Chain A
């Protein structure tokens, strides 16, 4: 039924949106980064039909494939997938993201909070971020379900990539600080209890034992692992608890959404369990025992070679949304691999963690044509965005009024 709603509204939106173009456009640039390992194509090109990517390869290959296409030559600029933000709070009003009357709020959704005209979204676009996970805050242990959005669109439904986008859980940090006087034992018990109830409801519902219940309905995606759990978690023990409880015990698809302080010490467990890490926004940490500054990203990066999926987040507005690439730069600065690793950490890695690698995050055929034209390497602070496209449509042009 809900899908039906979306369809109807999308149809309505589509009527209003500029007519979809069937014409093939080829964008060629001196550097095309497809966001796959070793995905940098010198003198590359990308073909777009309507809102989808048709091909991304060397210019000659693409030109050969689409000889009649309209060609946009971007010269020396870089053509990069739109960045994917795994932790965003700015797409709606902030005061609507923390319903802290109860410790766990499995029924809440950010859907009604999203504001298409939010000016921060324009900052996001101008900063090259085209997709974001818009989630509740960490005021309670389970803030509710977030949604995956494109950062541009006139209507809410037009912006939605997936709703629910993730279940937001906050383990340690804010919920205690906000004064319930709740210790971690209570927090973990309560969170596990709520999750277990939801999972049990899914089982019972599918077995025909109970009626459909809007309160637990979103748990179907959790159980099916089509909806990830974005977990505000930090500090070694808590990160470990997150992985153990949510992934190993309950079989959900969580990702570490912060993993700051010495959270990286649980790195091998994360690798073992296949839990991605979206690190940040604090990229370094003062370790008292060794009396030195330690880079979180670097700590996590040690496990990348073992298969850890590492990305970055801004927790916007904690760090302004447009500074997501800069977070990656900070990660690299503090030892998390190369510039390419950093760039992957804001494009395809978060897309994989958010389970939208088939929608956005890289320049693969069939994905949404969300791409950004940069003056250089996006994680180089000297670079800036020239143009940004969402679903093949130009949504930001620095020539018409540059923001950054």
Chain B
């Protein structure tokens, strides 16, 4: 009655927002011509054409003639979309239950908010896939999910097409947490308002017990299910899967002793596929991890929370990793906890560099007068800015640094989430890799916090700066990370038949000044900064 074409145009209601654009057809072949292609497994190809069709990489042609309609940016590098193997994007209080310790069957894939702005932030930093893990608010947080950061149909009526994340793997691992986090919210039943926080664990002891208790329950449950004497229990089913090796286990552990607890429990309880998340102090027991065959997804050593950038690896850390000694008199004077800050922070004597080439890259980092590393990739101008910014802080910067280095963790008197394992070091990945531990890098909360300078690619850059081989660092955020996600057959590699998740960088992706200029997810352009 009302609709008339003419009226439709003439008497149109004013719209307050842009109308969603429809996705372009997928059957067209797009071609990208690049000078350098980082395949993701360490290989690089020069001067290649990459063809994308139907969301997949359909061909990689070396040295071909560049078609006129090909996407080409001079000097650009192409990598597979980055894979963040450890992320808390959109993971918040609605996705993790605090009223109970065991919510093993809680599925992150079900409760995650796909329209969260964090995904867009991550995408803009080149991250196309993320392994989302339940937060550490209870011991058994639930099951993790793998998402692509874009390409999903948005539920938001006001959003652009493809702007939502999409789940590509639901219930891919069980997450459990050790350490302070799980107990910090709980308290004894006296002296405070009643509520579900009056419960165990309030300590590490309780957290470890909760893990053991549930797994022993699961073992009994498995037997009872066999002889039909138990009803289906959603939580224990998940634990049973872990015990049978059908579901990987992710354990958040930051401190040395927590990591060693994981090792002990793995043997005691018969865990088969274990990844330690964050593992801030893993360099203290890298050899144990190697011997036990447990892999590590290193938490962000470089972000504004841990302020590892302010401390960097100490000499003691580096030496301890290179030649793990018992706590011994010979080392006391250069002990981690006795670092002499009056001189302005740890100093790296020349002879160490000469005798120990392993960490040369890390040791040669130029530092300012406060012992803070100066990024060698910064050009002069930036360098100057960096210096002056620190200069403005003058005495304050030093004080902050002192705070960071105060051995609060080890005294055991501290509590709270982010004081745990504050010996974070950007050299963690390099140290673990050196020790032969299967390791990848994760950005955890970086993208949640709009801390783009802590984003995944920056973790890789920082790791390179502290001694990791560049090709390894890149693999740790692409191919190897995809393996951690259980998705190595479709993402993380620039190879024919793989998902066309590609990032075109303005230069070498590991250069601090490079930025993504074109991002494809499933062959669709999700970000275009070419202009």
Contact = CB atoms under 8 A, between A and B. Distances in A.
A and B touch in the complex (CB under 8 A): yes
Given A113-B205, A395-B328, A12 B188 contact: no
B256 A115 contact: yes
B199 interface: yes
Among A12, A17, A96, max chain B CB count under 10 A is at A96
B327 A400 contact: no
B292 A400 contact: no
A99 B201 contact: yes
Nearest to B189: A101
B66 interface: no
A393 interface: yes
Given A119-B407, A395-B327, A100 B337 contact: no
A61 to B, nearest CB: 30
B114 to A, nearest CB: 36
Interface string B393-407: 000000000000001
Interface string A175-207: 000111100000000000000000000000000
A2 B268 contact: yes
Contact of B291 (A12, A110, A114, A214): A12
Given A101-B200, A152-B327, A211-B220, A144 B205 contact: yes
Interface string A7-46: 0110011011110000000000000000000000000000
Given A108-B209, A180-B190, A157 B260 contact: yes
Q: Is the interface of B mostly helix, strand, loop or mixed?
A: helix
A51 to B, nearest CB: 12
A318 interface: no
Interface stretch (A87-95, A261-269, A299-307, A340-348): A87-95
Contacts of B183: 96
A401 B327 contact: no
A99 B202 contact: yes
Nearest to B326: A154
Contacts of B260: 9, 116, 155-157
B169 interface: no
Contacts of A92: 204, 257, 412
A: interface residue count bin: 35 or more
Given A102-B200, A117-B256, A400-B332, A9 B205 contact: no
Q: Is the interface of A mostly helix, strand, loop or mixed?
A: mixed
A115 B261 contact: no
Interface in B256-314: 256-258, 260-261, 263-264, 267-268, 284-285, 287-288, 291-292
Nearest to A156: B260
B198 A115 contact: no
Nearest to A180: B190
A155 B203 contact: no
A374 interface: no
Contact of A101 (B198, B207, B330, B335): B198
Interface string B189-224: 111000000111111111111001100100010000
B68 interface: no
B439 interface: no
Nearest to B211: A112
A387 B209 CA distance: 38
Interface in A102-150: 102, 105, 107-122, 125, 136, 139, 144
A100 B209 contact: no
Contacts of A366: none
B326 A152 contact: yes
A397 interface: yes
B14 interface: no
A105 B203 CA distance: 12
Contacts of A401: 329, 332-333
A375 interface: no
Among B205, B220, B326, B336, max chain A CB count under 10 A is at B205
A121 B126 CA distance: 45
Contacts of B285: 154-155
Contacts of B258: 112
Nearest to A17: B326
Interface of A: 1-2, 4-5, 8-9, 12-13, 15-18, 90, 92-102, 105, 107-122, 125, 136, 139, 144, 152-157, 178-181, 211, 213-215, 387, 393-401
The 3 closest A-B pairs by CB, nearest first: A93-B412, A397-B329, A96-B204
13 contacts: A93-B412, A96-B412, A99-B203, A99-B205, A101-B198, A105-B206, A107-B212, A111-B261, A112-B257, A115-B412, A118-B412, A154-B326, A395-B329
